[in-house]
Amino acid sequence: MPPLILGVTGAIATGKSLVCQTLVDLGAVHCDADKLVHRLYDPGTPGFERVVAAFGPDIVGTDGYIDRTILGTKVFGRPEEMRRLTSAIGNIGDAIKAVIDEWRATLADEATAVMESVNHTESGYGAWCDQTWLVACDEDITRARLITRNNYTLEEANQRLASQRPWHTRAPAADFVIGNNGEMQEVVSAVQRECRRLSNLKQRGALPESRYHPWWAERQAAFAGQRRQRES
């Protein structure tokens, strides 16, 4: 019986970190895809050279690393620029899949591992996971959290939110939607209950197929159909 691989996703400031920390407290192995991606454009990497070439030397801080705050002002809320950044960084999917493959090859059967990723749903990462969890929160609450937690101005917070997808558009691909509009303990308790439920199902060999898998297959088929129409 292989380890259980969970994908946890949600927009900025919805509470992904709280959900993942709760899972870690329960014994899960965790990887933050954002931090993994940041290593792809550290100084000295091909990704660093491509990102600087694409967005200019002013994004490099005094420490020699790309200043993600400055870079963010150039891409957040601007889909074309965000796509240009993603292309410059390199093959993010390969890096994430390599971590998940290593988990499957090395972790104990009873282990749980968590890949935390903002772009989990749209980028196909859920195809490599056993379950997809979505953290949902009202935009007014996430805006207030960004202003308080990150010391953003209202304009900066709205810019970040403009680059995010509404949670309800991702819900059809999620096996478990965790609402985070209320108290922290409510989220912790919900995660603990779902972990117990999944553990019992896994032990009985009754873990259901993720909703993400057919959702992603349908999405890929739709994209293929659109390509054929454009080429015909």
d(CA 160, CA 64): 25
Helix (H, G, I), strand (E, B) or coil at 144: helix
Residues of the chain with pLDDT under 70: none
Quote the crossing angle between the two packed helices 46-55 and 79-89, to the nearest 10°. 150
Which tokens is 121 given? 């749903």
pTM to 2 decimals? 0.89
Residue 9: which residues within 8 A CB-CB, separation 6 or more? 16, 116, 117, 118, 119, 120, 121, 132, 133, 134, 135, 170, 174
Structure confidence by residue, pLDDT tens digits, 12-70: 999 999 999 999 999 999 999 999 999 999 999 999 999 999 999 999 999 999 999 89
Quote the crossing angle between the two packed helices 68-75 and 46-55, to the nearest 10°. 50
- The pLDDT assigned to 159 comes to 84
- The pLDDT assigned to 189 comes to 97
Which tokens is 123 given? 């980028």
Please state the length of the chain: 232
d(CA 180, CA 19): 10
CA 217 to chain CA centroid, Å, is 19
- The pLDDT assigned to 230 comes to 83
Spans of all domains in the chain: 4-231
Domain 4-231 class? Answer: alpha beta
- The pLDDT assigned to 160 comes to 84
Which tokens is 54 given? 């694409």
